[in-house]
Amino acid sequence: MKDELRILLRKVRESAKISIALAAKRAFVDERTWRSWETLKGAVYERQPSDKALWSFFQRSGIEMPQAFKARANGNPLGQVLSIATYKGGVGKSPITISVAARLVEQSFRVAVVTDDGVFRGMSSDGRGPAPETLASKIDFYDERDLKASPAELKKMKKEIRDNVTNLPREEQQIGEIIYGHLIETVERKKLATENLSDLVTRYDYVFLDINVNIELIRRHADLVAIILDSDCYYSIQSAQAFLADLRAIKCRKAAPSYFGLVTNCDVGGVSSELEEFVGDLPDLNDEILEELMQSKRAQILRRERIYQMIRALDFPILSTEMTASYKVAIEHYNESRAFLDGYCYFHSLADVAPHSHAAGEIRRLTEELINKL
């Protein structure tokens, strides 16, 4: 980076009364790295910031990026696309996605979530959404059906409708319309769509793909994919492998995204199904029952260890942030005094309902690591 840009960077930072420590944090780098960016040419450290680091600093600081720095980006959109995904349901994909998105909103980033989630669609059709004044309310949510489809994708969907509905005998078409109603609605909505995913990337700093069906969207647009691996479920490993294999099989000119495993439900040792912690060391506990409980506990521990070893043997890197089941505890605590329909839902984030919880801390660490991996 030229000396005049180094001087400009220092001038902008000092004018905004931002310390080097805070500037480094907002650029997702350490203080030494930031200092090197402000050091004039010929010094020991002669580094230059990436476009992403500069973009993060200016965006998070609420400062308009000087034209001299904008020119370095060559006019390309700086928005990043992430997906926390897997085929298996019930492993926290959507809650983690929304909580990470909310964490970025909290840091003044513009964030959108594109989803094909059935719960989201059901709640949206009922007119439900995020509570006002929450971090989740500052996230822009998009139904994947409202984004343009490529001509090839649209043609494929129309053919499926013809083969399974239109071309059926008249007496069978009604049944076909029920079975393929979701696909018919998707085609109709995509015909009316006015923008595609690429358009969103130019408007937002981060776009999350909470996608479980149209994974081609992830392959064609994502910069990073975190695949969930539930450390208490063998099937989540098989699901993750199948998901990644399908992503890799999609032919695309765009460079493949970075793939990482995200270990969840990672409670060391596990808890036996007999809940022996409620039994304790009662003096009158039958020795035979006590031995059964201990055997069950040992079996559960060994099972968890085997699953964890299988996760570590996968052929893609694992994120260092490992999530426990603390988010379940936070959600249960939130739901205790609420009616069923008022409980934790798609439009909630841990930053809103339990900002000081262990679970929220895990989300903060996960967010930092994901951004640093981009």
The single residue listed with the structure tokens 């996608």 is: 211
Interior angle at CA 121, CA 115 and CA 127, nearest 5:
125
Neighbours of 12 (CB within 10 A): 19
Q: What is the pLDDT of residue 40?
A: 81
**Tens digits of residue pLDDT in 315-339:** 999 999 999 888 888 998 999 988 8
Neighbours of 293 (CB within 10 A): 17
Q: What are phi and psi of 126, to 5 degrees?
A: -90, 5
Amino acid at 107: Q
Whether 36 and 50 have beta carbons less than 8 Å apart is answered as: no
- Pick the closest to residue 329 from 363, 359, 351 (CA basis): 359
Integer angstrom CA distances of residue 265 from 59, 70, 246, 293: 33, 42, 25, 22
Distance of CA 81 to the CA centre of its chain: 10
Q: What is the pLDDT of residue 270?
A: 45
Report H helices in the chain. Answer: 3-15, 20-26, 31-38, 51-61, 67-70, 93-106, 118-125, 151-161, 170-179, 181-192, 197-203, 215-221, 234-249, 287-312, 326-335, 350-353, 358-373
**Domain spans in the chain, listed from the N-terminal domain onward:** 3-73, 80-148+193-373, 151-183
Q: What is the pLDDT of residue 78?
A: 65
Q: What is the pLDDT of residue 29?
A: 83
| Fold annotation for 3-73 | 434 Repressor (Amino-terminal Domain) (1.10.260)
Q: What is the pLDDT of residue 293?
A: 76
Helix (H, G, I), strand (E, B) or coil at 93: helix
d(CA 288, CA 168): 64
Whether 69 and 11 have beta carbons less than 8 Å apart is answered as: no
Neighbours of 127 (CB within 10 A): 6
Whether 260 and 225 have beta carbons less than 8 Å apart is answered as: yes
Residue 299 neighbours by CB under 8 Å, 6+ apart: 272
The single residue listed with the structure tokens 């649209």 is: 154
Does domain 80-148+193-373 bear CATH number 3.40.50.300? yes
**Tens digits of residue pLDDT in 174-193:** 898 999 998 999 999 999 99
Q: What is the pLDDT of residue 211?
A: 93
**Tens digits of residue pLDDT in 118-167:** 999 999 999 999 999 999 999 999 999 999 988 888 999 999 999 999 99
Neighbours of 231 (CB within 10 A): 23
Whether 231 and 263 have beta carbons less than 8 Å apart is answered as: yes
Axis crossing angle, helix 151-161 with helix 181-192, rounded to the nearest 10: 150
Q: What is the pLDDT of residue 342?
A: 87
Whether 210 and 94 have beta carbons less than 8 Å apart is answered as: yes
- Pick the closest to residue 96 from 287, 326, 334 (CA basis): 326
Q: What is the pLDDT of residue 276?
A: 45
Reported pTM: 0.80
Q: What is the pLDDT of residue 52?
A: 74
Residues in the chain with pLDDT < 70? 41-47, 71-78, 268-285
